[in-house]
Amino acid sequence: MRAVLFEQYGEPASVREVSDPHLTPHGVVVRVEATGLCRSDWHGWQGHDPDITLPHVPGHELAGTVESVGPRVSNWHPGDRVTVPFVCACGTCPTCAAGDHQICEHQTQPGFTHWGSFAQYVALDHADVNLVAVPEALSFATAAALGCRFATAFRAVVQQGRAAAGEWVAVHGCGGVGLSAVMIAAASGARVVAVDVSPQALDLARKFGAVECVDASRTPDTAAAVLELTGGGAHLSLDALGSPVTCAASVNGLRRRGRHVQVGLLPSADGTTPVPMARAIALELEILGSHGMAAHTYPAMLELVRAGVLRPDLLVTSTITLDATPAALAAMGTAPGAGVTVIEPWA
């Protein structure tokens, strides 16, 4: 099969002919019809993820059709239209038994723990636990956009953040995750403040429901801007980018007893990121993490998509071929772009 492969961190990736993925007894092999290009893929290419073994094929947001099925799989058959969370759970550990598949103790992640979906085929573990049926009315490109960024944002805003109608929600960073969070928070009835350095991203945030926007390239203190716009601070704030600056701004822009959700990854040279914990103590803030979303919780989100309340299709702003992917992956470090870029490996 053809796939995007890199052999050294940070060195140019290329499209190669590689071996087809191996089918496990409890897994499936999926023909990839669409896969998202995510900043997490860029982090992996840069060497920020300890699970990656070189050489490597990235890609973790995907949708496609089941090609082959392992003998221990009961619920899926060749030809089924499917997507999958980027965290694939084992389904049997104590954490999975509690329903928290997104933090499974034995999780696998396509594009990180094993070769991913920047390819014509991808292997997925524990199919009966992890696969999600894609409705016929949902395009593969839209379904691929759900797998990491949209589902991650849904859990961060709704399940972890507990966004409520009338609350102020600040979203720091309006890439794919951030724009998804803006749309979901607005659909929940919240008043959204979007923060980003890109005018294009802020324009999309307004389109998706933000009532206020802060241009971080022109606003030295974005936390102060959020405090002023919301009349005392956001009830809920998300760092959807993942940097020490956006993390601190998210926490500092909260009102008393506000909730910060860290969604974006926070790699740094020394492995730590300063968090304004003195403010967290003084104002009794909640500091929360959010890591994907379990497959069994997808139905509520998919029902809102079916009803047209949520429009993840509007987030897909670019479609590229597999051959264009190495350059697009490298460009994410300096120009991540607005919206979601989807790769169609068979194009």
The reported pTM is: 0.92
Please tell me the predicted confidence (pLDDT) of residue 44: 94
pLDDT reading at 184 higher than 90? yes
72 three-state secondary structure: coil
Mean pLDDT of 72-79: 98
- Band the pLDDT of 337: cuts 50, 70, 90: low
- Which residues make Cβ contacts (< 8 Å) with residue 282, sequence separation at least 6? none
Q: Rounded to an integer, what distance in angstroms lies between the CA atom of residue 104 and that of residue 172? A: 27
Buried-exposed string 86-116: b where 16+ CB fall within 10 A, e elsewhere: bbbbbbebebbeeeebbbbeebbbbbbbbbb
State the Cα angle at 41 between 37 and 47, rounded to 5°.
Answer: 160
Q: Rounded to an integer, what distance in angstroms lies between the CA atom of residue 238 and that of residue 318? A: 25
C-alpha 297: how far from chain center? 15
Q: Please identify which residue in the block is written with the tokens 């350095």.
A: 197
Portions of the chain given CATH number 3.90.180.10: 2-150+293-344
Length of the chain: 347
Neighbours of 40 (CB within 10 A): 28
Please tell me the predicted confidence (pLDDT) of residue 147: 80
- Which residues make Cβ contacts (< 8 Å) with residue 257, sequence separation at least 6? 283, 284, 285, 286
- Which residues make Cβ contacts (< 8 Å) with residue 339, sequence separation at least 6? 176, 179, 204, 315, 316, 317, 318
Portions of the chain given CATH number 3.40.50.720: 162-289
Please tell me the predicted confidence (pLDDT) of residue 270: 58
102-154, pLDDT tens digit by residue? 999 999 999 999 999 999 999 999 999 999 999 999 999 999 989 888 999 99
Mean pLDDT of 159-168: 98
Q: Residue 266 burial by CB count (10 A; 0-12/13-18/19+): exposed, middle or buried?
A: middle
Higher-pLDDT residue of 86 and 336 is 86
Q: Please identify which residue in the block is written with the tokens 């979303």.
A: 293
pLDDT reading at 216 higher than 70? yes
pLDDT reading at 334 higher than 90? no
CATH number of 2-150+293-344: 3.90.180.10
Whether the Cβ atoms of residue 218 and residue 196 lie closer than 8 Å to each other: no
Q: Please identify which residue in the block is written with the tokens 């600056």.
A: 245
**Cα separations in angstroms, 86 against 124, 148, 182, 214:** 10, 6, 21, 31
Please tell me the predicted confidence (pLDDT) of residue 233: 98
Which tokens is 276 given? 């304004």
Mean pLDDT of 29-58: 94
Q: Rounded to an integer, what distance in angstroms lies between the CA atom of residue 316 and that of residue 332? A: 16
Please tell me the predicted confidence (pLDDT) of residue 148: 84
CATH number of 162-289: 3.40.50.720
